[in-house]
Amino acid sequence: MTRKFYITTPIYYVNAHPHIGHAYTTIACDTVARRQRMLGADTFFLTGTDEHGQKIERAAQAAGKTPQQFTDEVAAEFRTLWKRMGISNDDFIRTTEERHKKRVQELFRRIRANGFIYKGRYTGQYCFSDELYVDGARPGDPCPICSRPTETVEEENYFFKLSAFQDKLLELYANADFVRPETRRNEVISFVRSGLRDLSISRSTFSWGIPVPDDPRHVIYVWLDALANYITAIGFGSSHAGAQEAFKKYWPADVHMIGKEIVRFHCVYWPAFLLAANLPLPRAIVAHGWLLFEESKMSKSRGNIVRAETILDVLGADALRYFLLREVVFGQDGSFSFDALVQRYNSDLANGLGNLASRTLTMINRYFNGEVPYPSHAAARTPADGVIREKAEMVIAECSQFFTDHQFSAALESIWIRLIAAVDKYIVDNEPWSLGEKQDENSRSRLATVLYTSAEALRIATALAHPVIPDATARIWAQMGLGDIKSVDLNKLAWGQLRLGTKLNEIQPVFPRADKSAIERMQQMEDERRSSTIEEAKLPAVQPAVAQAPAAPPAAATPASGPATDNAKITIDDFAKIDLRVGVIKVAERVPKADKLLRLEVDIGTEVRQLVAGIAEAYAPETLIGRKVVIVANLAPRKLRGLESNGMIVAASPEGGKPVLAGFLEDVPIGARLK
Ligand SMILES: [Zn+2]
């Protein structure tokens, strides 16, 4: 019988647009799924979006949309991005789908029927950003995850008897594979040992969620709703025979891959819910670290989130996939920068694999009419040929171990350093181009051996790297005349399978070299996008956290912007932190090659500030001179197109329209403060 393999990403919370943090987790899962398929497993790879909860309700409101419209749009962005990135998910679940809602209610019923749900009164602190009840916190205390102030909620709730599962959970963690890596496992053990209190699992103060069965005034706690996706998507709770069969086949999951900030939900709550419903437990929960941008945390509030699209536009999906898995040691925090990305792309992909493929295949074309030659006699072999073979065999074995352990960077290091670099050196040492000049039989034999050895090493490196860089490797495979790379059986991959006489197809470079301007182009694309969304700063205080976007740290890892009390309102003290001042525009000019940007010099009484503003489409620079405007004077400086912008100009940004500068009907002195 075929072995099954079921892997999941967390479902991403749609209050944030997709960025490379989300991409990172998804790429890692995709790589595992693709490798499992090549190992012959009946693989099911699930991803999706988490769409309920008060935070979404508020974000939709702020954007002037219904929650359904809002979530439809963001969910579509995720789907589109995954397609562009070559993500091979078998299903995409949205928690607003009927199938999910019904099955979550079935899970709730089952847990209730088993006696683990009761009704009670909850008074306590809640973090809306993380959708987390904070046990033991007092009003105003910060959230332990994001350090934003918690809000007091008081309501009649359904409670889950989490306290009943303390011992069972601790037993579970005795299996070292259940939570990985070790640091996360220890964290979870100490949390559970410190004592578990029952968990409120319903809310009645808002409605954007799944109604509690038989008591629709309550909606089900968003984490119970979200976690259940792992079973609802594959058929739990369905009355259809086909769905029931799928559930039986694929559950339990082999791997839930998550970011480290959602460990508690996955390793404590989720297994407890499953135990309460008498369902089997997942085999492993694997947590990775955060992706930092140039060493600092990537977050919406810092404005340094990098979109995957920018990288896809300039370097392609394989470049991003390779970089993230090669550069970041899985489980630890890793850093992203455009410089490092381009450097890696050039050294490993363009000069490494890409160059090995093009030089090897080009020489086979030139010297052997595009047919893979075979060394004709032993005399034409040297120990160096055997060394390449040994290295290839070692790399096959190492990769098997490293990929199984989710050590992606070690696996890629093995392929690139042990094998690809060795073959490069082998080619340089053996000078096939010199051998090709000679017509004697020994030189021809030697040439055939060198090219066969190089091509066979290329074939093995290509097959092993396929789960990580599926597009380029599929093209190299096809150029080698080997057909569809998906049909490779990795269990059987071994030296010597490249057949004599294999006819090459047309050769085309797979990784054209990227020059320095690629870095600039990507930075500019990101700067422009940020400056074109100046209206974001004027939205109500919707918490911009990424509760379930695993790779990105919750935005709130930055200091909270102030005590957000009831319903995202801010206090007068919060407002007082914003230094709004009247200024007069002294200089205004276009920023070269940036259609939306103007460079302004604004006199605010005490000094003249340089600002870069995304208003070029609405105002000609010459019309702005002498105009009084409102600027946010104490905004941290940032760079746009290499220009430092000290502050932000305040403008209304009508939906779909051009920005309109704020101004005054009466005369007002320069430097006056708005309060
Ligand atoms: Zn929080």
- Which amino acid is residue 662, in one-letter code? A
User: Which one has a higher pLDDT value, 164 or 605?
Assistant: 164
Residue 537: is its pLDDT beyond 70?
Answer: no
- Residue 126 CA, ligand 1 centroid: distance in Å: 8
Can you give the pLDDT at residue 83? 97
Q: CB of 464 within 8 A of CB of 497?
A: no
Q: Where are the alpha helices (DSSP H) in 348-487?
A: 355-368, 383-404, 408-413, 421-430, 432-435, 441-465, 470-479
Residue 101: is its pLDDT beyond 90?
Answer: yes
Percent of the chain with pLDDT over 90: 65
User: Which one has a higher pLDDT value, 672 or 550?
Assistant: 672
pTM: 0.78
- Residue 116 CA, ligand 1 centroid: distance in Å: 26
> Mean pLDDT lowest for which of 150-154, 196-200, 664-668?
664-668
- The pair of structure tokens assigned to 414 is 């093995």
- Residue 454 CA, ligand 1 centroid: distance in Å: 54
- Residue 129 CA, ligand 1 centroid: distance in Å: 5
Average pLDDT over residues 279-288: 97
Residue 346: is its pLDDT beyond 70?
Answer: yes
Can you give the pLDDT at residue 551? 33
Per-residue pLDDT reduced to its tens digit, 179-223: 999 999 999 999 999 999 999 999 988 899 999 999 999 999 999
- Residue 327 CA, ligand 1 centroid: distance in Å: 29
On average, the pLDDT of the chain sits at 89
Q: CB of 279 within 8 A of CB of 235?
A: no
- Residue 562 CA, ligand 1 centroid: distance in Å: 13
User: Which one has a higher pLDDT value, 133 or 556?
Assistant: 133
Q: Where are the alpha helices (DSSP H) in 221-354?
A: 222-227, 229-232, 241-250, 263-264, 270-276, 308-314, 317-327, 338-344
> Mean pLDDT lowest for which of 244-248, 397-401, 430-434, 631-635?
631-635
Can you give the pLDDT at residue 310? 92
- Residue 223 CA, ligand 1 centroid: distance in Å: 14
Residue 529's alpha-carbon distances to 312, 464, 534, 641, in angstroms, are 15, 37, 9, 11
Can you give the pLDDT at residue 278? 98
- Residue 55 CA, ligand 1 centroid: distance in Å: 12
Can you give the pLDDT at residue 264? 94
User: Where residue 532 falls among pLDDT bands split at 50, 70, 90?
Assistant: low
Per-residue pLDDT reduced to its tens digit, 366-377: 999 999 998 777
Can you give the pLDDT at residue 316? 95
Residue 544: is its pLDDT beyond 70?
Answer: no
- Residue 61 CA, ligand 1 centroid: distance in Å: 21
Q: Where on the phi/psi map is residue 303: left (φ > 0), alpha (ψ -120 to 50), or beta?
A: left
DSSP 541: -
CA 187 to chain centre: 23
Can you give the pLDDT at residue 568? 55
User: Where residue 133 falls among pLDDT bands split at 50, 70, 90?
Assistant: confident
Helix (H, G, I), strand (E, B) or coil at 589: strand
HSE value, Cβ hemisphere, 13 Å, CA-based, for 237 = 23
